[in-house]
Structure 1
């Protein structure tokens, strides 16, 4: 049952059946030997992504930036970072994507800019500068910061500026001052810039921390949770005007083009998501939620060595499936540039089970309702880097957290390094492993961050030569989503929700029923879900099955008509 024929015009909701592939440009492919991935490197590998079968590429920021937070600190929204190439390189890249039927989603980072952006350079000159209110400035309170808020990358969320004797808000790095969305001039600038990119042919936006663009006007102190700073999240996430701003964005920009839009929404609930991603199309197509990522959080937030418990993850995923049914659209992901590697976190990256568990977690995700995201290297089963020293890390968040927690005595150096091995964002940012040559074929120079040592065994060249590889399994999952309407539109219903080992569910559409079962353990477990010799097996990661059981990390998908 085909829901999309090649060459026909896609419907307005083309994104519903699409599979999105995220590229982190700095780590994807280096074409000029400087050790940093670039736009021409991406263009050179588009045939690989065409072969995989993805519909959309989401590109992490490529704009001009001093690179304090790897491009998420933008100094010019309409120019390209020198490390990545030129605007001519961009134009060629998007043309080549479109030739192959692949659409491009740009990262939109408009909660904050770089402190080197022209707007901020003007803003801090004086209190009466025309750009002053482009940012959030506050007077000291009792000789200290305006609030006790801690920034996401450590330290205070407020930075004192000597010139005017006031503090500016930065929810992330001090080099990422927050934009003041209450100022209509800021919104005008953002919408003008977005329109410019749409007219260049961009097919959508992934909106960085978009739930944070409206702050609580009272600016109250936050509850101290990490022993160091107040929690700002209740006062900067899902603020009073966020939906008003996004509806304005939709009217002025998004509704004028045929786009795919996803909002990264820290602190989002299912109720809020129904507003952000409502099916009337007045805001965004879908949101990224983080609840399943937070199931391992502990005393110090994300900094923990806990492995996710499948039952907790399943409860969150199923809640989002059922509560958004018929009301909003889901986005589906296990990892991205801000998360550790999927197979290391949710699967088993040991040599015995890496490939089989990578296929299992992929099946579990891709058969759910929503738009699946694949992060570069996930399709070949790339793993965490497990760096041994803090000197191996490049991420500002990891480096700041290590310094803050070890110097305060809250953790030893060994404890903090163990946390980083499990959860650091740099695990996802090691270079893409193309082949078994020097530096995994990523660069002829010195890579900006070390290549994972397992690249000689785990690489795209080896995957393409093996018919049973993780790559071809992902290719089949993508093909199935394009082929079967029940995978796109079927109603979700959880199964075996008290089982400690198996994540199972069904999807129904008309007379069709899809039954999915995934064993999240390294042992054989009893499973009576499938009626033998009935139904069509669409995909599995084992050649032979055991009656009434699932083998270690086994998954099966059966279609009944």
Structure 2
């Protein structure tokens, strides 16, 4: 059941949309997306049904890691706009009921950040302890996050003849969270953005915040997250901390803290990977097993479900056989794989462009309990560009229309980032055309979002797996407040007929509706026979006469 008061838990049922301002919309024709361009497109996001906008880093940067190498935490990259424009963006979004969260990148800075420039001038610099230094690298050192690009997490600094820690790239020195002055700086950054009106933060690579030599407190590694949570709550009630914790469910629990004293929301990596394993095996088993064992969490906490994000599709939590199966099926070209663990492709081309499989994947996303997250352009089926290195392959400009540069910019093509060609070029995949086509993928995603938002039991309900008797068909139920939502998905390419029991459907006063068609359904004795096409799906909702209406 839902808590009586959910006003401060808006994120629990949010529809999250992730974008990079730099690649979303260019308003002034310089070839770079900007804040004004995003403001011009807020109505598109509102009409899509987005309730939470997640902004990738937009602060000043050397742009060696797509903005994650930040040189000033409390400013806006001048290519994208200024603080005045950002405040206007917040106003426009809030006026349309869209909350805005931003990346909080406190694992590291750019090596051009003033703190690090000061720190490497002298061992006695006042910023020296902002970073982690050693006379010699430890004999046993942590593995690099980017195998093949970095061979060590320690880099020698010639001027001071010491090594500094960089868990990521060498141009991103780790911050030393054990240093109180660093934590004070982070509090200042958080206070700055919340004062402007930001509704929360997505924390990048959370395990690295508590597990490196620069962790805030080696005796209690999670204290930093609790401290951060308390500070954010004081500065902006109802703000959310959304964490990237790429671990199995059981290991993620510690990052929620005690009843939400750390993160409120975490990305559900294990479920995402199981979705793709089930897809390539054409079997419901992998996903059913993961969902059946996903830990229940306090009602004030939640999972954020997703299919693709702005990084590679990581397969780290699959066993070696499962990982290889997904690689072989979805990324047969070595160029589509990265770091030995992930795939740099967007969803539509991974599904072979098959509209049945693409729509089934999105049906799963919005029917699984959690707060669904979309990466920009996924709602229209954008493709990747493998001529771009690594993750940049999926971070190409948004495709608004069939014109030059996909309507992203009026600049000369030579000044605009490269855009996919072939079947995923803007003339074939763009917002303009799909808005005018009731059968388009965009129209379908808008329908799913509307139905998700009309059925709060999907996010709030207790999850259970419903027996179908067919290994290719997954059925799951979400139950809350006298309402039962049931979704069935066929992972097989051929049609299947299954008989399912709708939980609690023996109540003669209840009614059952097919949510996607709005047609009534009449189960016999609480059981229903479903005819599912290849990769087909159904959404059913049973409402008892005494149920609290949403």
TM range (shorter): 0.7 to 0.9
Query: Is 2:516 the partner of 1:539?
Result: yes
Residues 492-535 of structure 1, C-alpha deviations (whole Å, 9 max, x = no match): 01234885432321111243221101123332233223789972
Q: Which of 107, 110, 113 is matched with 1:114 structurally?
A: 110
| Residue 114 (structure 1) shift | 0.5
Matched, 1:262 2:262: no
Aligned to 2:329: none
Identify the match of residue 244 of structure 1 among 216, 220, 223: 223
Aligned to 1:97: 93
What's the counterpart of residue 421 of structure 1? none
Aligned equivalents of 1:175, 1:297: Cα separation in 2: 34
Q: CA deviation at 1:316?
A: 6.5
Distance 1:330 1:493 in 2: 16
Is 1:553 the equivalent of 2:530? Answer: no
Q: For residue 74 of structure 1, give the secondary structure of its aligned residue in structure 2.
A: coil
Aligned length: 490
Please say if residues 321 and 330 of structure 1, whose CA atoms lie closer than 8 Å, have aligned partners that are also in contact.
Answer: no
Residues 148 and 335 (structure 1), Cα distance of their counterparts in 2 relative to 1, 3 Å cut: closer
Paired residues for 1:186-225 under 5 Å:
186-215=182-211, 217=213
Gaps spanning 5+ residues in structure 2: where? 313-343, 522-527, 544-550
Tell whether 2:420 aligns with 1:452. Answer: yes
Give the CA deviation at 1:28.
1.1
Matches within 5 A, 1:64-143: 64-141=60-137
CA deviation after TM superposition for structure 1 residue 210, in Å: 2.0
TM-score (norm 1): 0.79
Instruction: Report matched runs for 1:402-551 at 5 Å.
Output: 425-445=391-411, 446=413, 448-453=416-421, 454=424, 455-496=426-467, 499-529=470-500, 535-539=512-516, 548-551=530-533
Relative to structure 1, is the Cα distance of residues 452 and 331 closer, same or farther in structure 2, using a 3 angstrom cutoff? same
Shift of 1:209: 0.9
Distance 1:541 1:336 in 2: 31
Contact 2:52 2:101 in 1 (8 A): yes
> So what's the TM-score if we normalise by structure 2?
0.81
- Superposition pairs for residues 337-356 of structure 1, below 5 Å? 337-339=310-312, 340-341=344-345, 343-344=347-348, 348-350=351-353, 353-354=354-355, 356=356
Q: C-alpha separation between the residues in 1 aligned to 2:464 and 2:55?
A: 33
Does the CA contact (< 8 Å) of 2:250 and 2:295 recur in 1? no
C-alpha contact (below 8 Å) 1:145/1:167 kept by paired residues: no
1:395-421: CA deviation from partner (whole Å, max 9, x where unpaired): 4xx2xxxxxxxxxxxxxxxxxxxxxxx
Distance 2:300 2:95 in 1: 34
| 1:156-171 correspondence runs (5 A) | 156-171=152-167
Name the SS for the 2:227 alignment partner: helix
Whole-angstrom CA distance in 1 between matches of 2:160 and 2:11: 47
Residue 419 of structure 1 is matched in structure 2 by none
Aligned-partner Cα distance in 1 for 2:282–2:166: 34
CA distance 1:10–1:329, change in 2 (3 Å): closer
Q: CA RMSD in A?
A: 3.4
Distance 2:517 2:109 in 1: 46
**Cα distance in 2, alignment partners of residues 343 and 540 from structure 1:** 25
SS, match of residue 456 in structure 1: coil
Determine the C-alpha separation between the residues in 1 that align with 2:103 and 2:304.
16
Paired residues of 2:177 and 2:216 also in contact (CA < 8 A):
no
CA contact (8 A) 2:308 2:375 kept: yes
Matches within 5 A, 1:289-438: 289-292=268-271, 311=284, 314-315=287-288, 317-319=290-292, 321-324=294-297, 328-339=301-312, 340-341=344-345, 343-344=347-348, 348-350=351-353, 353-354=354-355, 356-385=356-385, 387=386, 392-393=387-388, 395=389, 398=390, 425-438=391-404
d(CA) in 2 for partners of 1:437, 1:313: 42
Shift of 1:323: 4.2
CA–CA distance in structure 2, aligned partners of residues 132 and 162 of structure 1: 15
Contact 2:107 2:209 in 1 (8 A): yes
Say which SS state the counterpart of residue 102 (structure 2) adopts: strand
Cα shift at 1:284: 1.6
1:158-207 deviations in Å (ceiling 9; x for gaps): 11110111111111111111111111111110011101100001111111
C-alpha contact 1:137 1:167 (8 A) present in aligned 2: yes
List alignment gaps of at least 5 residues for structure 1: 220-235, 299-305, 399-424
Which residue number corresponds to residue 326 of structure 2? none
**1:267-289 C-alpha deviation (Å, 9 max, x unpaired):** x3433432322572311211124
Please report how far the alpha carbon of residue 472 of structure 1 lies from its aligned counterpart in structure 2 after TM superposition. 2.4
1:10-49 Cα offsets, whole Å, 9 max, x none, are 7111211221111122221111222222211111111111
Kindly tell me: are residues 13 and 159 of structure 1, through their superposed partners in 2, closer, same or farther at Cα, counting changes over 3 Å? same
Q: Distance in 1 between matches of 2:466 and 2:126?
A: 59
